[in-house]
Amino acid sequence: MGDEEEQQRSLMFLLTYMLLKRRRDINHADIQRRDEIQRRIRHRQYFFQRQRRMLMMMIAGGMRSNVRIRTRPWTTTPRSDWWERVVMTEFQPSDWLDKFRMSRETFFYLCEKLRPRLARQDTSFRLALPVEKRVAVALWRLASNVEYRTISSLFGVGKSTVCRCVRDMCHAIVALLSSTYLRPPTEQELEESAQLFHSYLGFPHCVAAITTLHTAIITPSSNASDYANPAGWLSVLSQVAISGQGYFWDVCASFPGGTDPAEILQNSALWATAAEGGLSPAQTPVFMGKPLRYVLLGEACYPLQSWLMKAYPEQKSRRGCRTALPEPQQLFNRRLGRALRASEEALLRLRARWQCLSKRNDCGLDVVPTMMLACCILHNMCESHGDAFKAEWQVEVCEAENPQPCHKALAPASMDQSDAEEVRGLFCDYFQQQRT
């Protein structure tokens, strides 16, 4: 009897558990069903409300009344057909050059190259800005450095849209065009640059010049003293290598204005490339009867290397008076200064074409380096396409309130290479032979 009662209790417990589980499953299914019905009701309500809003907007757009309809903030932006009606139909070649610093053909070439990164999809509430208009907005900013609100009123877009266009275009240029217009030179380009330095600038066996560029900025939120350059104003420092054709081969941006240029050079990829012979052909060329790799020219703030020539420093007597250098060294310094002026002219053309680099730039520190790279790439693109350059642009740069500062000369022999003096002596001998 005891075993039968135990089996009955187990059976009753099992039946009770199964009934309770069944009831719980039914309740859970009812809850899910009610949730699904409510979700569908909300979805239909949202769909009908959306259709109603779109219908009301279409009706309001067709009405010729003075009644102002409250809309989203972006729909209150003033509209302008200046881009479509004036620029695209009435601009002459000189207008394209003045406003966008490039020809119409180069402008549309740039738009096609950047389309994969700048194209946007239309939405149900507004149409996306065409790629051409986005590029025009950004180029206007780079060329003139005018305020965002001025460009906003001109193109009929919001100020935040102008800022976004500038940022997006600069990033797109660096991402898509660096491999074409800002890359290491080929052997043929090295030979052409060496010929130009020799024939037009009078300095043989040289392929590029290294110099610096300071871009004025607004006061940063932190570490402002680091950005004070030798002239006393705040800037971002860039190191550039310029070929004999006036192209930028290498650019290192984003350094505070107070950084030592020699430190930037030693930590750059250009230093490693040049030291390993990457700026010379596979077969080492011959100079003055000796195999010698091509050299670069630099300012007095850089260290003397076997591949980097700089001027002889001024000598002083024990009384602190300056003494004249020997004639071969003076001749070397004159030829070097003449060649370096060509790189200064290339920088002047860059700053004149893209005046965001010559005037104080109010963009954030996260944008200025990318903007600098983008401007160098655009400079190379315009120069390679043969776009005209106007002399009056240089006048505006020369009248800028922030002239480029001069860096302090590096102490002799502090970072100089041991055999560099012998290489510099070869150039002195060459200039002396050419003089006689």
pLDDT digits (tens, 9 = 90+) for 1-51: 667 777 788 888 788 878 888 888 888 888 888 888 888 887 777 777 777
- Model pTM score: 0.79
Please check whether residues 222 and 326 belong to one and the same domain. yes
Examine residue 311 and state whether it is found in any structural domain, yes or no: yes
Instruction: Note whether 235 and 217 are within 8 A (CB).
Output: yes
**Calpha distance 150→143 (Å, rounded):** 14
Scored b (16 or more CB within 10 A) or e, 21-44 reads eeeeeeeeeeeeeeeeeeeeeeee
Do residue 326 and residue 282 come from a single domain?
Answer: yes
pLDDT surpasses 50 at 145? yes
More confident residue, 153 or 122: 153
Q: Cα angle at 346 between 250 and 142, to 5 degrees?
A: 80
Does residue 242 share a domain with residue 388? Answer: yes
Q: Are residues 222 and 145 in the same domain?
A: no
Q: Are residues 330 and 360 in the same domain?
A: yes
* Encoded amino acid at 73, one letter: P
Among 212-226, 275-289, 401-415, the minimum mean pLDDT is found in 401-415
Residues 171 and 280 in one domain: no
pLDDT value at position 116? 95
In a domain, 9, yes or no: no
Instruction: Say if 411 falls within a structural domain.
Output: yes
Residue 170 and residue 217 in one domain: no
Q: Are residues 274 and 423 in the same domain?
A: yes
- Does the structure show a pLDDT above 80 at 415? no
Same domain, 408 and 294: yes
Cα distance between residue 357 and residue 404, in whole Å: 11
pLDDT over threshold 70, residue 77? no
For residue 318, the enclosing domain spans 183-434
Residues 137 and 231 grouped into a single domain: no
Question: Is the per-residue pLDDT at 142 higher than 50?
Answer: yes
- Residue 50 in any domain: the answer is no
Q: How far apart are CA 361 and CA 370, in angstroms?
A: 13
DSSP H or E run through 238: strand 235-243
- Examine the domain organization and report whether 226 and 330 are in the same domain: yes
Q: Determine the Cα–Cα distance for residues 70 and 156; give it in Å rounded to an integer.
A: 19
Question: Are 206 and 315 members of one domain?
Answer: yes
Q: What is the helix (H) or strand (E) element at residue 290, kind and residue range?
A: strand 290-291
pLDDT the model gives residue 78: 47
In this structure, is residue 54 part of a structural domain?
Answer: no
Residue 178: both structure tokens together: 């660096």
Structurally, how many domains does the chain consist of? 2
Q: How is 90-155 classified by DSSP, letter by letter?
A: H--HHHHHHHHSS-HHHHHHHHHHHHHHH-----SS-PPPPHHHHHHHHHHHHHH---HHHHHHHH
Q: Among 180, 201, 231, identify where a domain stops.
A: 180
Under the banding of pLDDT at 50, 70 and 90, the label for residue 64 is very low
Provide CB contacts within 8 A for 194, sequence distance 6+.
204, 205, 206, 207, 244, 294
Q: Residue 230: inside a domain, yes or no?
A: yes
| Dihedral of the alpha carbons of 186, 192, 193, 195, in degrees to the nearest 10 | 150
Kindly state whether residue 19 falls inside one of the protein's structural domains.
Answer: no
Domain edge (last residue) among 162, 180, 198: 180
Q: With 0-12 CB in 10 A as exposed, 13-18 as middle and 19+ as buried, what is 139?
A: buried
Domain boundary among 111, 146, 180: 180
The answer as to whether 103 is a domain residue is yes
